[in-house]
């Protein structure tokens, strides 16, 4: 079945550092891929998404490219801020499962220090 694997945290880095969180997936066909972020005390928020191979999702300085050949969707940000401290979840949906059923990775906690 479908599954998502992402790097374990916590990831601790200084402000303005480069952030990469690795995410790989297992699925038949072309699932939709997502990054969700959870700030302390809040629900999961969609950060970005990509629905077909080679698509790049981007939002708030974060980017991720749908790589079918490596079945990956790594999240990157060139210069993090303290406000980026959160837990980041990689997720997929479809196509063999329903599009409404999100399958999540374990989450990666990111801590950005001043």
Partner 1 sequence: EPEVTQTPSHQVTQMGQEVILRCVPISNHLYFYWYRQILGQKVEFLVSFYNNEISEKSEIFDDQFSVERPDGSNFTLKIRSTKLEDSAMYFCASSEEEQGQHNEQFFGPGTRLTVL
User: Which residues of the chain form contacts with partner 1 (CB under 8 A)?
Assistant: 32, 36, 41-46, 49, 51, 89, 91, 93-95, 98-107
Q: How far is the CB of 26 from partner 1 (least distance, A)?
A: 14
Q: How far is the CB of 103 from partner 1 (least distance, A)?
A: 7
Structure tokens given for 24? 């790989």
* 67 half-sphere exposure, CB direction, 13 A CA radius: 13
Nearer to partner 1 by C-beta: 46 or 82? 46
Q: How far is the CB of 113 from partner 1 (least distance, A)?
A: 24
Distance CA 64, CA 45 (A): 16
Distance CA 9, CA 108 (A): 5
């Amino acid at each position: 079945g479908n599954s998502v694997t992402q790097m374990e945290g916590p990831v601790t880095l200084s402000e303005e550092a480069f952030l990469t969180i690795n995410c790989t997936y297992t699925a038949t066909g072309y699932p939709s891929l997502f990054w969700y972020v959870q700030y302390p005390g809040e629900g999961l928020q969609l950060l970005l998404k990509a629905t077909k191979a080679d698509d790049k999702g981007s939002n708030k300085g974060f980017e991720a490219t749908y790589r079918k050949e490596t079945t990956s969707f790594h999240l990157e940000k060139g210069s993090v801020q303290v406000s980026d401290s959160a837990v980041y979840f990689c997720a997929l949906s479809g196509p063999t499962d329903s599009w409404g059923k999100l399958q999540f990775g374990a989450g990666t906690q990111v801590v950005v220090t001043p």
